[in-house]
Amino acid sequence: MQGKGFYCFHVLSLMLLLVGFHGSVQGRLLFVSKPDPDDASGYARWLASQSSWGVLNTISSELGGAPFGNVVSFSDGLPDKGTGIPYFYLTALDPTARNAFEDQRSSLSISEYPIGTCKADPMNPTCAKITLTGKLVLLDGNSKEAEFARRALFTKHPEMKDWPEDHNFRFYKLEIEDIFLINYFGGPKPLTVDQYLHPKKDLLASVL
């Protein structure tokens, strides 16, 4: 009888653990209700806040100017203080950072699919996707923004703290100049950078 109770306890614990993983992404809470598709700025900020990785595209001088996409981890801020600005922890041993030294033009593509909140195919318009285009900029290592990037990235990706020092990882951000968002049928939603970075305060509190 005691063995049966022990077994039930562990089954229940496992179920609670799985529910916890389903409800969070790298320690960031996933809200039951995501923003309405008509709320372009809220949906875009929700998508950036809840995502932990995307495809960062740069212009490759090593490939004669061809586009080069690379899977990278990112964070837009602390769990309850997302800014919408993607920050990265990159090394020049990787082509992405080297490319940015030559040509800063870059874009970050994010899909809702990995979050687990859409059941359709990733290309289905109801499974949101966003591409943030701009410049990949190296931060001054002694700046307040670099310290913010450090806390944002290391909170969301704790493993980064232990990455090799001799790889010379440094902090970068994407200075956003254009936004392409699809989160439903009807084509891309009109969304300016200002609308994305400065949504209404009550809206911001509901999506971060």
- The pLDDT tens digits of the residues spanning 94-122 come to 999 999 999 999 999 999 999 999 999 99
Predicted pLDDT of residue 18: 39
Q: What is the pLDDT of residues 61-91, one digit of tens each?
A: 899 999 999 999 999 999 878 999 999 999 9
Q: Nearest-CA neighbor of 153 among 144, 161, 143?
A: 161
Q: Are 188 and 23 in contact (CB under 8 A)?
A: no
Helix (H, G, I), strand (E, B) or coil at 23: coil
Is residue 110 within 8 A of residue 77, CB to CB? The reply is no
Q: What mean pLDDT do residues 41-52 have?
A: 95
Distance, CA of 141 to CA of 170 (rounded, Å): 7
pLDDT of residue 79: 82
Q: What's the DSSP call for residue 143?
A: S
Average pLDDT over residues 32-50: 90
Taking residues 153-173, report their average pLDDT. 97
pTM: 0.82
DSSP string, 106-123: EEEEEESGGGT---S-TT
**Mean pLDDT taken over the chain:** 86
State the DSSP code for 50.
H
pLDDT at 203 over 60: no
Q: What is the mean pLDDT of residues 14-40?
A: 56
